[in-house]
Chain A
Amino acid sequence: MSAVTLRAVEPRPQKLREMSAQVGWGILAWVLGIAFFLPVLWMVLTAFKPESAAQTWPPKFVFSPTLAEFRLVFSGWGPYVTHSLIATIGSTILVLLLGVPASYALSVHPVGRWRDGLFFFISTKMLPIVAAIGPLYVIALKAHLLDSIWLLIILYTAMNLPLAIWMIRSFMLEVPRELLEAARLDGAGRIREITEVIMPVVSPGLVSTALICVIFAWNELFLALNLTVTNAATMPMFLISSVPQEGLYLAHLSAAATVASVPVILVGWIAQRSLVRGLAMGAIK
């Protein structure tokens, strides 16, 4: 073998090693990703089983799928899903209505002590709401708000507002100063500045903020469990009520869990790019 051919061949094993390393890391990522997803997959699989096939040893991976449990779930979920939709959408709209102006006042033309303002909002997230659950119950009782959907809307709004302000503010900081200057030179007032300059830039950010609010409101259990009974009971409550005291129930439970989780999972999958961006922006800016 001459020196010339050696030199020509030499780069190839190097490249091959790099490529095989890349494939190796890729396989590892896939294996771990599937492992983490397995409980979700198992939930969906179990939901399609007849009850007798859900409780077997060894667990069954091949079975004749049935929609029986889903039919049962859909026959009872009506009021719960309505309450959940109202509480989730209502509180998210309210969060945006309150959060957008507040974020504006904390970023574009900041108030004097914007830092203290921002810290106040964040600090309310650190007070554990569970600590006030007893008094909250008494207040709701006296205000005739117990077991009402309005109570959930009010509380979910307060629950999500700090994170929302934090995220929206960070998106508003992204608005180029030159754009704001140009608008001002054009004689644009505060309102036009917001509608014509800021909103177009931050609207993708608002979507990801709304998404985070939807996730947390839709999934909330503690407040709903303590403060509602029937008139405002939400999907997590429906899920709990689907666990019977005795008998076979794993398939039914899985069907209810799937139905309760799928809306947020689908929305999250579709909007995952904006979710990643929103979390990261909110996290750092």
Chain B
Amino acid sequence: MTVIEGVAAPPPTVEVRPREVSRRERWQRRLPLLPALVYTVLVTQIPFLVTLWYSFQSYFWNTPSPAHFNGLSNYKTVFTNAAFRGSLVRSVVMTVTAVIVAMILGVAFAMLLDRKFIGRGVVRTLIITPFLVMPAAAALVWAGPMLDPNFGLLNYLLQPFGVHHVAWLSTHALGSVIVVMIWQWMPFMTLIILAGLQSQPPDTLEAAKVDGAGAFATFRELTLPHLRPYIELGILLGSIYLVNVFDAVRLMTNGGPGTATTNLPFYLFQQVNNAFDIGGAAATGVVTVVLTIIVATFALRMFARVFQFEEGGV
């Protein structure tokens, strides 16, 4: 979508509504939305309200004493706790690294798959498969048959490069977990970018070629701007899912060694399952949600831009 086309496009059709929408008509329009809306409010918002309530309570479920109000002390613990800060930082590092690398690889693979070659369909099938593998299965297979220090395939394949029985999950734990995250989400990025590439009008590329533009210049000046909304959306969706990564951490390293791979989801899991600290976990949860809302506000701005793009294109 070039800028000129965006300007020349007719005014948005999506939002055009008849001028005289009657009261009855308004409710008729709302009615189909209500079940999903009520369902989502009930199932997703109530647990968070309860979380807010428990965050001001002292409640350990391994003791018989009932929950009781303890003011801000859970929050004080959260903010003075190095473990929370550490897991927050690791969550950010894991998500940002995985999303960016997966996106760069995704663009590269999509460019490759956009070319014609023998067996393109088969290669695409091979490439989307990691996204379809159950994350728990991926984590266990990477931790065992792939990365095992004594029998793992990776050490065998890297032997010619001077790698000898590296215990990846002890020495490069964070990197290993991130590699698995990238492996699973790169296909998702590839698919979105590929769709973007295939929606690119071929005549502009043709024109660029006729004008004698090099491959790199064409990519930078034409393809990349066209892909921008697709890239933004891939990053957004990837972040939403990757920030919650739990399976790989739990099953590959169990958060370790030490706390080397403990991200926020795993830290919360430990607070509930090992420390039985419902109040503390709730306060951690509330702080996490507040931080998420701050980040999400920026993300939603990005959505708004995408919708403008949509209206320019419809």
Contacts and interface: CB of A to CB of B under 8 A. Distances in A.
Interface residues of B, number: 115
B84 interface: no
A25 B117 contact: yes
B243 interface: yes
Given A157-B39, A219-B134, A226-B272, A250 B123 contact: no
Contacts of B289: 127-128, 131
A215 B191 CA distance: 16
B188 A222 contact: no
B44 A279 contact: no
Nearest to A23: B117
Query: A54, A132, A268 — which one has the most chain B CB atoms within 10 A of its CB?
Result: A132
A76 interface: no
A202 interface: no
A130 B244 contact: yes
A246 B240 CA distance: 36
Interface string B144-161: 111010111100100000
B35 A42 contact: no
Contact of A239 (B134, B188, B264, B300): B134
Contacts of B113: 29
A127 B48 contact: yes
B278 interface: yes
Interface in A12-52: 22-23, 25-26, 28-30, 32-34, 36-40, 42-43, 46
A239 B140 contact: yes
B272 A133 contact: yes
A269 B125 contact: yes
B233 A55 contact: no
Query: A111, A157, A226 — which one has the most chain B CB atoms within 10 A of its CB?
Result: A111
A125 B295 CA distance: 13
Interface string B75-87: 0000000000000
Contact of A104 (B21, B32, B150): B32
B126 to A, nearest CB: 4
Interface string B120-132: 1011111111111
Given A57-B151, A177-B13, A279-B195, A222 B40 contact: no
Contact of A43 (B53, B137, B240, B281): B137
Contacts of B130: 36-37, 39-40
B234 to A, nearest CB: 7
A148 interface: no
B226 to A, nearest CB: 11
A257 B141 contact: yes
Given A102-B32, A110-B29, A131 B300 contact: no
Nearest to B232: A283
Given A110-B14, A125-B240, A130-B265, A158 B136 contact: no
Query: B30, B119, B137, B310 — which one has the most chain A CB atoms within 10 A of its CB?
Result: B137
A61 to B, nearest CB: 10
Given A42-B145, A110-B17, A132 B123 contact: no
A69 to B, nearest CB: 13
Given A124-B44, A277-B195, A46 B136 contact: no
Interface string A242-267: 01000001100110111011001100
Nearest to B307: A115
B107 interface: no
Given A36-B183, A129-B244, A215-B132, A42 B265 contact: no
B135 interface: yes
A204 interface: no
Given A261-B132, A280-B191, A54 B40 contact: no
Interface of A: 22-23, 25-26, 28-30, 32-34, 36-40, 42-43, 46, 54-59, 98-99, 101-102, 104-107, 109-112, 114-115, 117, 119-139, 154-155, 157-158, 161-162, 165, 173, 177, 190, 215, 218-219, 221-222, 225-226, 235-236, 239-240, 243, 249-250, 253-254, 256-258, 260-261, 264-265, 268-269, 272, 275-277, 279-280, 283-285
Given A106-B33, A161-B40, A253-B141, 18 more contacts: A32-B112, A33-B127, A102-B36, A105-B29, A114-B15, A119-B300, A120-B40, A130-B288, A133-B269, A134-B51, A226-B273, A235-B134, A240-B251, A250-B151, A261-B133, A280-B196, A284-B195, A284-B196
19 contacts: A25-B112, A39-B130, A40-B133, A43-B137, A43-B145, A98-B35, A111-B29, A112-B29, A119-B300, A161-B36, A161-B39, A240-B136, A240-B140, A260-B137, A265-B129, A280-B192, A280-B194, A280-B195, A284-B306
4 nearest CB pairs, A to B: A280-B195, A26-B117, A131-B285, A101-B32
